Amino acid sequence: MVVLPEFDLERVSSIADQAVRQIQALEVPFDPQMFELWFTYYSGRNQKLNIAVNAILAEQRPPSYRVLRDVYDAIVSPARLTELVHGIGEQLQQQTNGALGTITMATGASNAFLKELAQADQVIISADSQGGLRSAAAALLKSTAVALRTNQALQSRLAESAEQIRVLQNRLDLVQRETLSDPLTGVANRRMFDASIGRLIEQADQHDSPLSLVLIDIDNFKHFNDKFGHLVGDGILRLVATEITQSCRANDVICRNGGDEFAVILPETPIEGALAVAEAIRERVMKRQLLRRSTKEPMGRITTSIGVAQHQKGNSPEALVARADKWLYSAKTLGRNRVSAETSELGEMDSSDVDRSEPGLHWSRAYESGDALIDSQHRELFVLANALFDPSLKPEAAPRELTLALDRLLSHVAKHFADEEAELSARHFRGLSGHQAAHATLLRDADDLKNEVRSGLRTLGDLREFIVNEVVAQHMLTADLEFFPLFRPTPAGPGAGQAEQCQPEQC
């Protein structure tokens, strides 16, 4: 909001005209936010805004609505909200002072009435005739009537002050919520993320409880935004925010950190649970079909790349964000539409024990069920799956080596599933039939995918994604947790935060 020292109609009109012409020249939507941004810019009252806008205008390409809206949200909107908070605070102070003054008046009136009662008491005691008593009673009734009227007036003033304070407090709460929320998607904003992550990490360290961070980036968002326009881009951001929210718990902190990146802070959640949440988000978003609302024109599907890391006790919030961001980058470089996670045994294994320099699956002792056979086969699954990350292993360059690697991996998976089912049957696992059905589906899909990779219809990256996401993240790290209590007293951790799939709907 621009505050001018005095109203100058000619100057204000000139600034408004410049703002309108700039909006028209850029061919961006004319809305209150754009007008406020350019009006503030041409008024020269916000140096930070002018520096940011000048840097954008210096680029060769005209700025998009999304770029300008991000500047508005980051610079103009907080300044306006600060002014609102300050104004409401002053009004609250005035109402509070008024209420205190009313209370002081009520105290004075009460003391005066008590004094008059004491005087009436002395008169009654000293009265020697009926006339004297009547006179004292009349004076007492008069004082009582005055006190009642005064009390009613003071009560009315207090009630009015209380109502004004309640209204102002509600306005202040609303402004504070706006300050900490993203106006486009309705989730929390970067300011809320920065305020929350340090506090939640401190709580996690105090109570020795796990905490994980999930960073989510929309794949090829700029392509959708440029091809279909900012309104579709805004719809995609709202859709992804909705799917994230429906995949998380009430106490998880969901934030839009800016642009097309979201973050989810998961208190009391180890890496296993965070992986399940991340995979649920990825699947929910991927299954949404985008349609143009006006023409029903299909616009394809959107996918996400997700990085996950667990807080290491004693480390800073910046360290956690950096590690999650590293795995987000890994997910994008591996082909997007995937979850990439840090899976070392946090707190028990030194970081030097795990090679994180190369992408792939990293074994964690937290994945151990307590059954020696199942755990050894799970470890072997990681080893065989990681062989597929060898850059020299390509169908055109090494077809025989690729075939052998695929056969070894899938033969191991089939044998492991059979051995696991036998172990669970011996333990009378109640969910055995569902587990067997899941195994059969995974084996069938894996065999089909293997043949398609050999024939060149699918890529090795598709197979890696299937092994990492379907076999490991969704099955081994989620479904298998159900039988862990059979082999050890306490399960590795809850696969919290999963949500039911929803039907595709229009963007």
Q: Is 497 contained in some domain? A: no
Clarify whether residues 269 and 411 are in a common domain: no
Do residues 212 and 309 lie in contact, with contact meaning Cβ atoms separated by under 8 Å?
yes
Clarify whether residues 190 and 337 are in a common domain: yes
Q: Is 43 contained in some domain? A: no
Residue 303 phi, psi dihedral angles, 5° rounding: -130, 170
Residue 252 phi, psi dihedral angles, 5° rounding: -75, 145
Q: Report the SS3 class of residue 416.
A: helix
d(CA 155, CA 110): 13
Which of 180, 198, 230 is the endpoint of a domain? Answer: 180
pTM: 0.46
d(CA 322, CA 324): 6
Tokens representing 8? 């100058």
Q: Report the SS3 class of residue 427.
A: coil
CATH number at residue 454: 1.20.120.50
Clarify whether residues 343 and 384 are in a common domain: no
Q: Looking at the 3D structure of the chain, how many domains does it have?
A: 3
Clarify whether residues 225 and 326 are in a common domain: yes
How buried is residue 95: exposed, middle or buried, by Cβ count under 10 Å (0-12/13-18/19+)?
A: buried
Tens digit of each residue's pLDDT, the chain (507 residues): 333 334 466 777 788 888 888 988 888 888 878 888 888 898 887 888 888 899 888 886 788 888 888 888 777 765 555 555 555 556 656 666 665 566 666 666 666 665 666 666 565 656 555 666 666 666 666 666 666 676 666 667 666 766 766 666 666 556 556 667 888 898 998 888 988 999 999 999 999 999 999 999 999 888 888 888 888 888 899 999 999 999 898 889 999 988 899 999 999 998 888 888 898 899 889 888 787 777 777 777 889 999 999 999 989 999 999 999 999 988 887 778 889 886 543 333 233 333 333 455 666 666 778 888 998 888 888 888 777 766 665 655 556 777 788 788 889 999 999 999 999 999 888 889 988 998 999 899 888 888 887 777 777 777 777 776 678 766 776 678 778 888 865 433 333 333 333 333 334
Clarify whether residues 194 and 298 are in a common domain: yes
CATH number at residue 300: 3.30.70.270
d(CA 277, CA 284): 11
Q: Is 338 contained in some domain? A: yes
pLDDT in the model for residue 121: 56
Clarify whether residues 380 and 474 are in a common domain: yes
d(CA 118, CA 243): 72
Q: Is 484 contained in some domain? A: yes
H/E segment holding residue 341: strand 338-341
Q: Is 64 contained in some domain? A: no
pLDDT in the model for residue 459: 76
Clarify whether residues 409 and 352 are in a common domain: no
Clarify whether residues 334 and 461 are in a common domain: no
What is the residue range of 134's domain? 81-180
Clarify whether residues 357 and 212 are in a common domain: yes
Clarify whether residues 190 and 327 are in a common domain: yes
Clarify whether residues 176 and 198 are in a common domain: no
Clarify whether residues 346 and 422 are in a common domain: no
